[in-house]
């Protein structure tokens, strides 16, 4: 009976021991296992059984992307300006074994390496370039850190400069410079607006002058057309009169008489001397004689 009790106790202790050595590795994690003090294996996600008193879990490693925000570091630019820059590093563990045995205190190593790399890069840049080249600085730091941490089983995904804090006097000077730049741009915009306004006014005056000139031109054209039409009408009337005379076949006396009437109209108080052709002079004498005979007949 006592033997059965001892056997039961031993079986119970064995079950407890086995249960205590059953390990479950959660998702996105890995366990580094040592056997008798030497690296044995890396457990991935799932159920695993550890050999009691021989195996031990050396390190539990998270395979998720991790973010580390390092405190501000003093750096000096090439133009001897001291500023404070803090960085944020995003990384993930790709090899749990190298992460466990590659370096002591990996996060501290990454922080020191980041600070050293940052000082080297900023030391080759001037203040203005430092403030305007964040993307370039981020890429350079990431490449250098990724190469250095590859032996530690770490992959640096990206690096961001969180804050760049120049000295207070530099900040004041930059604010004054920005204010002056804004005022200069405002003056330029005002000048451009005034220039545009003057251009619009000039264009309006120009268009107005063109319209007035076109109106005067149109008026003169119409007056000229009217005068031309009047001249054409007179000429047409004269032509019609000549045509009618030709159709009537007037005698020489009638023609001479019409010529005399024309000279009389020409000398209608507007000329002091008129030269009459000889053929018309005879006709004039005949007319005068006829007028005398007419007067005598009227007197009787």
Read off the pLDDT of residues 183-226 as tens digits, 9 standing for 90 and up.
Answer: 888 888 888 888 888 888 888 888 888 888 888 888 888 888 88
Owning domain of residue 26: 18-61
Same domain, 109 and 85: yes
Q: Is residue 150 part of a domain?
A: yes
What is the per-residue pLDDT for 293? 45
Arithmetic mean of pLDDT, 274-295: 50
More confident residue, 276 or 141: 141
From 69, 117, 113, select the one nearest 89 (Cα to Cα). 69
Structure tokens at 48: 């695993």
Same domain, 36 and 117: no
* Angle ∠(70,73,78) on CA atoms, nearest 5: 140
Q: Please tell me the total count of domains within the chain.
A: 3
What is the per-residue pLDDT for 294? 46
Orientation of helix 134-149 relative to helix 106-122, angle to 10°: 140
Tell me the average pLDDT of the chain.
Answer: 81
What is the per-residue pLDDT for 268? 56
What is the per-residue pLDDT for 285? 52
Q: Are 123 and 137 in contact (CB under 8 A)?
A: no
Q: In CATH, what number is assigned to the domain containing residue 132?
A: 3.30.479.30
When pLDDT is cut at 50, 70 and 90, the band that residue 299 belongs to is low
Give phi and psi for 289, each to the nearest 5. Answer: -65, -40
Q: Is residue 192 part of a domain?
A: no
* Angle ∠(225,228,232) on CA atoms, nearest 5: 135
Same domain, 110 and 157: yes
What is the per-residue pLDDT for 9? 81
Arithmetic mean of pLDDT, 3-20: 82
Q: Is residue 147 part of a domain?
A: yes
Tell which of 7, 42, 61 closes a domain.
61
The Cα–Cα gap between 273 and 266 comes to 11
Beta-carbon contacts of residue 256 (< 8 Å; ≥ 6 apart): 279, 280, 283
What is the per-residue pLDDT for 277? 54
Q: Is residue 195 part of a domain?
A: no
What is the per-residue pLDDT for 91? 95
Lowest mean pLDDT among 40-49, 234-243, 247-256, 274-283: 274-283
What is the per-residue pLDDT for 290? 42
When pLDDT is cut at 50, 70 and 90, the band that residue 40 belongs to is very high
Same domain, 100 and 154: yes
More confident residue, 178 or 295: 178
Q: Is residue 110 part of a domain?
A: yes
What is the per-residue pLDDT for 298? 47
Is 60 exceeded by the pLDDT of residue 282? no
What is the per-residue pLDDT for 279? 52
Percent of the chain with pLDDT strictly greater than 90: 32
Is 70 exceeded by the pLDDT of residue 129? yes
What is the per-residue pLDDT for 60? 93
Same domain, 77 and 150: yes
Structure tokens at 87: 């960085």
More confident residue, 167 or 138: 138
């Amino acid at each position: 009976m006592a033997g059965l009790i001892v056997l039961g106790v031993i079986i119970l202790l064995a079950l407890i021991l086995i249960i205590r050595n059953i390990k479950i590795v959660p998702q996105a994690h890995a366990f580094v296992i040592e056997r008798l003090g030497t690296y044995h294996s890396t457990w991935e996600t799932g159920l695993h059984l550890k050999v009691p008193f021989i195996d031990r879990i050396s390190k539990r490693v998270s395979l998720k992307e991790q973010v580390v925000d390092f405190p501000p570091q003093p750096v000096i630019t090439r133009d001897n300006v001291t500023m404070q820059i803090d960085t944020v590093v995003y990384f993930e563990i790709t090899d749990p074994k190298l992460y466990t045995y590659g370096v002591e205190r990996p996060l501290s190593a990454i922080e020191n390496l980041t600070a050293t790399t940052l000082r080297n890069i900023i030391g080759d840049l001037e203040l203005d370039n430092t403030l305007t080249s964040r993307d370039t600085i981020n890429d350079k730091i990431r490449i250098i850190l990724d190469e250095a941490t590859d032996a530690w089983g770490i992959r640096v995904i990206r690096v961001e400069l969180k804050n760049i804090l120049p000295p207070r006097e530099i900040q004041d000077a930059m604010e004054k410079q920005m204010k002056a730049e804004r005022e200069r741009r405002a003056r330029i915009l005002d000048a451009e607006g005034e220039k545009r306004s003057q251009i619009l006014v000039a264009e309006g005056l120009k268009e107005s002058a063109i319209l007035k000139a076109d109106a005067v031109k149109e008026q003169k054209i119409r007056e000229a057309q009217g005068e031309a039409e009047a001249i054409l009408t007179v000429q047409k009337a004269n032509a019609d009169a000549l045509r009618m005379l030709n159709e009537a076949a007037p005698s020489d006396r009638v023609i001479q008489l019409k010529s005399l009437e024309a000279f009389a109209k020409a000398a209608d108080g507007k000329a002091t001397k008129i030269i009459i052709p000889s053929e018309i002079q005879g006709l004039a004498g005949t007319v005068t004689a006829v007028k005398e005979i007419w007067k005598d007949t009227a007197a009787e």
